[in-house]
Chain A
Amino acid sequence: MLDVRGVSVRYGDLQALWDVTFAVRAGELVAIIGPNGAGKTTILKTILGLVRPAAGSIDFRGAPLTRYPPYDRVARGIALVPEGRRIFPNMSVRDTLELGAYTAGRRADLRPRVERVYDLFPVLASRQRQAAGTLSGGEQQMLAIGRALMADPALLMLDEPSLGLAPVVIDHLYDRLGELKGRGLTILLVEQYVAGALELADRAYVLETGRIVREGAGHELLADDYIQKTYLAL
């Protein structure tokens, strides 16, 4: 579904990604793990078109993406749950969700989509008139995921959904991600919460200082000596 080939990204003199190549197949949950500053966020931003690669190509559903702006990529079925959530603090939960379907046609019926999000995260239904900024961190993360799902994406990308959340909230979120995966949604998950991500992932890549240094099935990497020593502190 998604083919990233030889992508390099530079921010001025700083090179953030070096010749990054990976793929996500339809129905897979692929995780990219690695330490802070490894370039994980840059990969997602490049796929969505917020950052321009200096080299390389990105194909989505068989067509090259590189020359399309972000709004065309969203319309083609890529949705991002960004790092830090980036919700609109004064906007109501309901309005936020409806804006998530911004690229859907004027005549698209949004109610079934909103209902599906509320089924996944019932707490959002009870908060639907509240301003998004008044939600707890976990609820805001659910809202950010709900907003992305509203676009009815073929590929859902999540950037550190566990960041800053309590363990019990993270467990709940990961259960929901498992549910989405179970429904056949293709997911690209970027995480520092390595144990949770690898447990859920079909396959995973390890990114360090802008380069992919290891790849494999989720459970293989979980058992890998290097991963255990470096990321799981076992």
Chain B
Amino acid sequence: MAPPAVQTVVELLLGGVSLGGLYGMMAFAFSLALATTRILNVAHGGFLVLGAALAMLFFRFLHLHFLLGTLLLLAIFLLVGLLFEGAFVRPLMGRPPHAVLVGSILVTFGFALALEAFLGFYWADLVDPQPSFTIPFPAPTLQVFGLTLSGTRLTILAIAMLTAGLFHLLLTRTKMGKAARAMSEDHEGALIIGINPRRLSIRIYLVGVVVTAFSGILYSTTAPLEPYSGLPLTMIALTIIVIGGVGSLPGALLGGVLVGTAEVLTTFLAGGAWAPVVYLLVFFLVLVVRPEGLFGVREA
């Protein structure tokens, strides 16, 4: 057996890095949408909550078969992505950048509040009087060099790394990914070469909502989400992409791991209430030292 102190440190680091990987996934989905469509989606964190809530409904209350439930969730998330894009993104397209930014914050904030109210009220009324979304997933633990590692956290880390790999392939190998990079590097340049911004934005939101909602399900395997967890999660996504640089995949991953680890360590050392203080401090330092983000590109 490893000494208890070593065990604790390793547990904290694994907890921080796996939470960070999960944050990185959902933050990159947020970042890609912001970089390509210039929509700042305040309701982004709400998609994590929605994912966890629906997964809980399907698996814990309705006891659906794992595969059937997962396919059903995928279908619903795709539909949500399509409807969200049509309702909140499309009407803002082609307007001046500042109008898109301010308009998107307003409408998605409204949507985030509506989603909160819906999950807080109807969920309590119809499903469970104490809305708290969690899907315990007790994976077997792993013994390495006398250390006990949480199988759940390792699974989360593996899925986050796999998702990052798929994102990387999407951006570097597919026409859609290259178009998204072009759109985020030079909007008008992308229009000039004939990229259809609407078709691209639909695809970005389909991918983004699916990744984000499944991140929410993963999140709820280790800690419960509540109807009001959405906006704080959006704040975390914003912090991460400002740290890492808008539109940057390595930036989102590194920012995610920084924020996740800071959160886990602070919670252990000083209590959960201090976690936002620490990651906002990291955020502030990055803004002072490198305002374009660690992997960001300075605007020409």
Binding site for B on A (CB under 8 A): 48, 50, 69-71, 73-75, 80, 82, 86-91, 95, 98-100, 102-103, 106, 147-148, 151
Nearest chain A residue, comparing its CB with the CB of B248:
A90
A95–B186 touching, CB < 8 Å: no
The 3 closest A-B pairs by CB, nearest first: A74-B194, A86-B189, A103-B194
B178 touches A98 (CB 8 A): yes
| A91 neighbours in B (Cβ, 8 Å) | 178, 181-182, 185
- Whether B195 contacts A71 by the Cβ 8 Å rule is yes
| B188 on the A face (CB < 8 A) | yes
Chain B residue with the shortest CB-CB distance to A132:
B185
* Structural contact, B192 and A82, CB atoms closer than 8 A: yes
In the bound complex, residues from chain A placing their C-beta under 8 Å from that of B175 are 102, 106
**Contacts A82-B188, A86-B189 hold; do A71 and B182 have CB atoms under 8 A apart?**
no
- Known A-B contacts: A70-B191, A87-B189, A148-B193. Give 20 more (CB < 8 A): A69-B196, A70-B192, A70-B194, A71-B195, A74-B194, A75-B194, A82-B189, A86-B188, A87-B186, A88-B182, A88-B189, A89-B297, A91-B185, A95-B178, A100-B193, A102-B175, A102-B194, A103-B193, A147-B193, A151-B193
Can you report 16 residue pairs joining A to B where beta carbons are below 8 Å apart? A50-B192, A74-B192, A80-B192, A82-B188, A86-B186, A87-B189, A88-B185, A88-B186, A90-B181, A90-B185, A90-B297, A91-B181, A98-B178, A99-B178, A102-B179, A102-B195
Is B68 positioned at the interface, with any CB of A under 8 Å from its CB? no
With a 10 A CB-CB cut-off, give which of B175, B193, B297 has the most chain A CB atoms.
B193
Asked whether A86 and B192 contact (CB < 8 A) given A99-B182, A102-B179, the answer is yes
- On chain B, the residues within 8 Å of A75 by CB distance are 194
Question: A151 and B297: CB pair below 8 A?
Answer: no
Residues of B within 8 A of A (CB): 175, 178-179, 181-182, 185-186, 188-196, 297, 300
CB neighbours of B189 from chain A (8 A): 82, 86-88
Determine the chain A residues whose CB is within 8 A of the CB of B178 once the complex forms.
Answer: 91, 95, 98-99
Q: Which residue of A lies closest to B94 (CB)?
A: A69
Shortest CB distance A99–B (Å):
6
Which residues of chain A have C-beta atoms less than 8 A from B192's C-beta? 48, 50, 70, 74, 80, 82, 86
Name the contact of A89 in the complex, choosing from B191, B194, B195, B300 (C-beta under 8 A). Answer: B300
Asked whether B191 lies within 8 Å of A50 as measured between CB atoms, the reply is yes
Q: Which residue of A lies closest to B184 (CB)?
A: A88
Q: Which of B178, B186, B189, B300 has the most CB of A within 10 A?
A: B189
Q: Which residues of B contact A48 (CB under 8 A)?
A: 192
**A103 (CB) vs chain B CBs: closest residue:** B194
Q: Is the CB of A71 within 8 A of B297?
A: no
For the complex formed, measure the closest distance between the CB of A64 and the CB atoms of chain B, giving whole angstroms. 19
Docked Cα-Cα span, A48 to B95, in Å, equals 18
Chain B nearest Cβ from A222, distance in angstroms? 31
Instruction: Report chain B residues within 8 Å CB of A90.
Output: 181, 185, 297
Among A50, A71, A88, contact of B181 (Cβ-Cβ < 8 Å): A88
